Each structure stands twice: as C-alpha cells, then as structure tokens.
Chains A and B, each alone.
Chain A
Amino acid sequence: MKKAVILGAGTAGTMMSNHLAKKLPKDEWEIVVVDQEKTHYYQPGFLFLPFDIYQPEDVVKPIDDFLPSRAKRIMQKIDRVEPESNTVTLQNGDMIGYDILIIATGSHIAPKEVTGMMSDAWHKDVFDFYTYAGACALREKFMNWEGGKLVIHITEMPIKCPVAPLEFAFLADAFFTEKGMRDKVDITFVTPLSGAFTKPVASDKLAYLLKDKNIRIVADFAIESVNNETRTIHDYGGKEVAYDLLVTVPTNMGDSMVERSGFGDDLNFIPTDKCTLQSKVADNIFVIGDATDLPASKAGSVAHFEADVLTENIIRFINGEPMTYEFDGHSNCFIETGHGKALLIDFNYTHEPVEGSFPLGSFGPLKLLKESRMNHMGKLAFRWVYWNMLLKGTPIPFVPATMSEAGKHLEMSKHD
C-alpha cells in the first residue's frame, strides 16, 4: 500500500482528504490525516461572535464528522517532517512514512512577536478575534463595555482573511449604533499599509465607507510595542495611538512544526510553487491553504480553489505526467459593511478587484464592489456552504477554480 499523508485537518486538509478519497484507488492508497485538535472551527464565524450575530456553538463541529470514512485519523501534535527519509515524526515519538505528503497546517497568531502585546491585559483590554478564545472573550467584554477609544489594529502583513479587521471596524460601528451608544465609542483603524484600501480601484470606490461610518484611520503604522499601563501603541517612526480597548490582529505565522522541519521562511510559511502548489522542499511534498508562502490571500475560498488544482496535480504527479493545472491566485470574499449589507470582491494574481457581478456574468445576483443586502445574505449563507459543501469537496455551482472574466468590468483594473 502506498500512503498519502495529510498534515492538518482544517479547511484545506479536510477538503483534500475528501478529494483524494474519491480519486485514489482504495486498494493501492491509504490516506492518513493528522491533526492535534478534536474540533473544527469555522474561523470566518469568529468575526461575528463579538457582535452576537453568531453564538459560540455556531462555529464548532467535530473534525471527524467531515473526514472520509476510509481515512485513518491520528490525533497528535506533529513534531516535524524529514523530507530526506519521507517521514513525519509526531510528538509522542511515532513516525509515519509517506509517498505523498500534503501540508495544510495553516497559520495562527503570534502575539509575542510584539513587545508588550502579550501581558496581563491580554483578553482584558487587549484582544484578538482570530482565535476562538479571543473572539469569545471579546464577546463578553462588549456586552458590558461602556465605551471609550476602540482601536482596531493590524500588526503586519500577511494575515489571513486580510479584510477581516476592516469588517470588524464596520460591524463595530453598526453594533454600537444599534446599541444607541455610538457617540460614546471612538473608532480608529490602524494599519501598517498606506491605507485601508490600497488597490487603486478599491480605494476609488470604497473610500467613502470609512468617512460615512466616522472611522478614523492611522496608516503606515509599523508597531514596535504595546504599553498596557499608558494604554498606548507605539510605532518605529515615533507615532503613538491611545486606546481603551485594543483589538489587534497579531503577526500571523505558520506552525512551529515548519520551523522544526527547517524549511519555512522567517514567518514559517513554506516555499511553494505558486501555480502547481508543489513545495520547493521536495517533489513529493505539496502545500495548500494558509501554510504556503503564495502571494495570494490566506482565505478559505482560496484554499477551496487551490484544492481543485492540487487534486489534479497530485494525480498527474502519481502517474508521472507533467503538472498542467495551474492556480491563478483566484480569491473572492464578502466584506461585511454592517447594518445587514456586504460587498463582494473577486480577484487573482494578475487582476485587481473588479466591478461587475458574480458568478453568472451579467445575470449574477451578487454585485462586485457594491454594498448590497444580497451580498450580506451570501456571507451568512457561506457558513452553510462551508459545513455542507466546501469541506466535503462538493463542487459549488457556478464557482470555477480559476477566475471567470464574464460579467466583470475588467478594463477597470488597468489602472496604470
């Protein structure tokens, strides 16, 4: 028996296990899935927990419910991969050999990267919402918070779901407005980039949003430290922003297993061919989802598009054929703008976010780069699609892996 081993049973690993279960002959291939957790978290739901739009139980389900029955599941922490001997070592010392390895260990927050961020004030005045614990703690805090300076902050790029912090700011504006206390909450958005929207089409079309919602922006802010006594954050250039409640997105890093294996970059992301998804570490190691160093967004939708491409490529690799399927960086995401509306954006490696409609050309019900109620419904429906279709690898109707150009005003993207 040959062995396909999948490391991580989050969004990408679960999808790959289901794809490969359908494609790899049962009598020739064993599929092994390793993850340290019992629970699969619907991470996009973390955004809605603090605002009481979702309840904690909406975002958790057992990992095992989504894996194919033929997969052998191991619940252990992965210690490291040794490409020279094609083995994975687990924390309990067990070793697993593989013919094909798929790494899908994702990325997570590393608050210790910034001086003072991790302190007694963590989950008291300084919060993240990128973890289940952080989102739940913030939910508690918001229930009784009396207002003050709310600072929403991005530490450094890349982060997963790069629009989530901005959505958080929009939802906070709506939440405190609906509670009748918006006048008591001063919202500031702090980013290391040169603005909230940095792609030219988006900044043209969306600049009004922050202004309308009375959200102050501090751009080009490269954080050096958090001082939880003076309640200020400081940047390397000498700028300072005061907070009463800091909601930060800490540095995002790949798992330390990558570092122990000795093949990650300075953020533990794995060097990966951006078209084929083959790792640059060894021919029989492939990488998918947030664990890669691809210049694409780290998002579940991206992992979904990658899974289609990677499945075909792995089959071709096994058959000794050239890998012709190429990932184009296709990414789309809903952006909650508050008060029951959302935007939708769609882009890839070469095209900027465009205007138009999605996914059915000019018949598409979802408007790109325009706020609408339909888009908001689309975002909420994504949870159902995620649990019921995406993880199982069921094709989502009308949504191809590579970016469709129908119905989009692509000329809009030729900005230079």
Chain B
Amino acid sequence: MTSSSKHKKLAKSLLQFSLNEEGHIVDSKIEEILSSLRSSNPSGLKSLLRFFYTEVRRYEYTYHAIAEIGCKDEPNITNSIVKKLESAIGKNIKLTVIENPQIISGCRVRLKDDVYEDSLQSRLQNLEKSFH
C-alpha cells in the first residue's frame, strides 16, 4: 500500500472517532485528535491532516445544509426546511441560514452537492438565458 492510500484510510477511521451517536461531528473530539497528533507528530503528518480535512469537510456536507434566503430569517421557515430535508434523506440535519439579498425572494438550499432552488434570482437568470 502506498503511503498516501494508508493516510487516506487512517483519515477515514479518525473521522469515525470524531462522531457522536447522531452521526454528527463533535468539535471537541476533533480537537482531541488534533492535539494527540500534534504531540506524537508521526511522519507524513501534513499529508494525513490534508486527507483528514477533506474527509471531515466532505462528511460535514452530508448533514450540514446551508440555506440562503432572500428575506429575514424566521424560525418557521427554518423548521420547515429542516423537516423537508430530514424526511428526504432520513438523517438529522444541521441547518445554517444565511441571508442573501441577491436572491430577492425565495430560497436556495445546499446539501451535499445538491442545490434545491426556487428564487426570483434564478428565475430572472433563466429568463436572461432564454434571450441568448
């Protein structure tokens, strides 16, 4: 096995250690892993950390949704988005809501590499494209 694929495998198991029962990443566990790595300082630490970084980021995307909305954040909007997404993927969802005035109205939700969108901005963009 090459050292890079070894690191990849190790990064994957480190990720498993940083999860709680819900399957979410726990910040304190990651800090623990980082500090123990720092103190032992194994060879190829940099490449291992790079793999760990991509693994964590990629994993976080699977349950961390980002919603951009055009208006002020309201709890009932957030709740309905979370409910919809959870029923769709069958997993607990962590949602971050960002206000984005460029959207004008409507919302755009990104989960993993899927984007669900119904906004005035996208409709205007489609209209613009149809003129080309």
Are A and B physically bound partners? no
